[in-house]
Amino acid sequence: MINPLNLNIKPINWSGFKNEWLKETRGISFNDVLIHLVKGKILDHVQNKSKNHRGQKVLIVEYKHYVYLVPYVETEKEYF
């Protein structure tokens, strides 16, 4: 399996509050995204072009026939 982000070497951290909010309002959770990532089902990952989010990247994920843009930041120690 190809892991384009090499996530096996860094922990992935997320807000439990935001995870619950995503489940309630969008029907997706960080857990769902992580499962897709591990299975190699990420469509792409790109640099966030927003001037307000420099250094942020975006995973493009298809989940239940919808495409989601999932922003993340990579540091030396983690992804969040």
Q: Would you list the domain boundaries of the chain?
A: 13-73
3-class SS letters over the chain? CCCCCCHHHCCECCCHHHHHHHHHHHCCCHHHHHHHHHCCCEEEEEECCCHHHCCEEEEEEEECCEEEEEEEEECCCCEC
Strand partners, 67: 62
The widest CA-to-CA distance across the chain, in whole angstroms, is 34
pTM of the entire predicted model: 0.74
pLDDT confidence band for 6 (50 / 70 / 90): low
The mean pLDDT value of the chain amounts to 86
- Mean pLDDT, residues 69-73 taken together: 91
pLDDT in tens, 20-49: 999 999 999 999 988 988 888 889 989 998
